[in-house]
Amino acid sequence: MSHSSGQLSSLDLPKYIEHTCLSQETDEAGIRSLCAEAIEAGFHGVVVNPAWVKTAAAEVKGTSVVVVSVAGFPLGAQRTDVKIYEALKAFEDGATEVDIVANIGFIKSGRLTEMATEILTLKTMMEEGQLLKVIIEANKLTVEEQKQTVKALIDGKADFVKTGTGFFGPTSVEQVAALVQAAEGRIRVKAAGGIRTVEDCLRLIEAGADRIGTSAGKAIFADWQARQG
């Protein structure tokens, strides 16, 4: 659902943001800092690699910040059973949400039922309150492929469709708007990739994004906070 300018002026931007750090060289101190920044800002969550889920969960315990992890990251080309195992282990370690990369090769091959079955199989194994977001690398898909993929994800009971990993270019207002239109209110949209400023966030939220994934959360929050006072 898109938002009017009036709604944007009163929104709580930090609650849209998933403060992200998926760099392979990030150390424990970096994860702790990420969590502290998210708590201070009141972000929705932190996004960390699977090996850091337990650490992040301990850091945010007792706060409103949730832990998000990834599965099949960043290519999505692993075996289905491996991706499902990785996702379930992330939940077991304390993640509330998992962003799983769809098998893009399946999508390009027209094997959407297989792709959706992978998601549905995982969803049936998840517990109440756990959310699954599916990364589709929209920059690698045609508009029609994006539409058909969203429909398949709805069939697979996914909670969100996510624009991309960020490895293949930034997301755009047009891309988010197209996914929102295809979703028809039946699945939420997470925007990620190249989101660096408050303006980027507001434009994407106005286009209908329900969540914003960004590694620039600290700078975005500082700017947002300055504008409020």
Q: What is the DSSP string of 127-145?
A: PTT-EEEEE--GGGS-HHH
> Six-digit token pair at 61?
């315990």
Q: Is 93 a catalytic residue?
A: no
d(CA 72, CA 100): 6
φ, ψ for residue 49, nearest 5 deg: -65, 155
Q: Could you say which of 99, 159, 200, 210 is catalytic?
A: 99
Q: Is 147 a catalytic residue?
A: no
Q: How many helices (H) and strands (E) does the chain have?
A: 10, 8
CA 41 from centroid of its chain's CA atoms: 18
Residue showing tokens 């409020």: 228
CA 226 from centroid of its chain's CA atoms: 26
Cβ within 8 Å of residue 70, ≥6 positions away:
22, 47, 49, 50, 90, 98, 99, 100, 101
Q: Is 61 a catalytic residue?
A: no
Q: Could you say which of 133, 159, 162, 200 is catalytic?
A: 162
CA atoms within 13 A on the CB side of 82: 9
Helices 53-60 and 28-41, axial angle in degrees (round to 10): 40
Q: Could you say which of 83, 190, 200, 210 is catalytic?
A: 190
Q: Mind telling me the catalytic residues?
A: 99, 162, 190
